[in-house]
Amino acid sequence: MHKDCERILLTEEQLRSRVKEIALATDERYRGKTPLAVGILKGSVIFYSDFIRHLSCPVELDFMAVSSYGSGAVSSGKLTIRKDLDRDVRGRDVIVVEDIIDSGFTLANLRALLLERGAASVAIVTLLDKKERREYDITPDFVGFEIENEFVVGYGLDYNERYRNLPYIGVLRPEIYR
């Protein structure tokens, strides 16, 4: 285990089997459709690449990068798009793939934006859900794991851009971010 982690929360094996389960459940819902899977950069990339490989429906891939200030001290009340989609979402069934929902600010705003742009449907798939932290009205369609209010890293999740490449999800030692 990495020395900056206090303990491993989710092992590679737990991630592998649960990601497969939620991907197969998602696949079931999109039978006969051609969804657009939108990965939210950068945190979702590892989850995203594992997730989409279990889909058998003809899925198309796209990515967005956004900044949110919803979970910090100051809420901008607006989502900043740093990299937008290449594809038009009008009439599309969009699957937003995210690493973690915390306050819900990012996904509540993103969902509203995609619907405003004319998406036929927007489903939210998140690997992790810190449910007790929720401040904005957003209910994910598929959740990998509900977790406690602890800062986690690995499998795409970072602290200051570090630890994304850890193959497991670990709880970061509080002294690292305090």
Active site residues: 102
How far, in Å, CA of 57 to CA of 77, rounded? 36
129 lines the binding site for ligand IMP (CB under 6 A): no
- Pick the stretch among 30-38, 46-54, 113-121, 147-155 that binds ligand IMP (CB under 6 A): 147-155
Going by their DSSP bridges, the two strands 169-172 and 121-129 should be labelled as unpaired
Within 63-122, which residues bind Mg ion (CB under 5 A)? none
- Pick the stretch among 39-47, 73-81, 125-133, 148-156 that binds Mg ion (CB under 5 A): 39-47
Cβ distance 169 to 15 under 8 Å? yes
- Picking from 130, 144, 143, 156, the residue whose alpha carbon sits closest to that of residue 39 is 156
Q: Which does 105 bind (CB under 5 to 8 A by kind): Mg ion, ligand IMP, none?
A: ligand IMP
- Picking from 152, 168, 37, the residue whose alpha carbon sits closest to that of residue 101 is 152
Within 60-119, which residues bind ligand IMP (CB under 6 A)? 68, 70-71, 98-106
- Pick the stretch among 7-15, 22-30, 87-95, 146-154 that binds ligand IMP (CB under 6 A): 146-154
43 lines the binding site for Mg ion (CB under 5 A): yes
**Order of strands across the sheet that contains 36-41:** 80-83, 60-67, 36-41, 93-101, 121-129, 142-146
By CB under 5 A, the count of residues binding Mg ion is: 1
| Amino acid, res. 161 | E
CB 56 → Mg ion: shortest distance, Å?
27
Binding site for ligand IMP (CB under 6 A): 43, 68, 70-71, 98-106, 151-153, 157
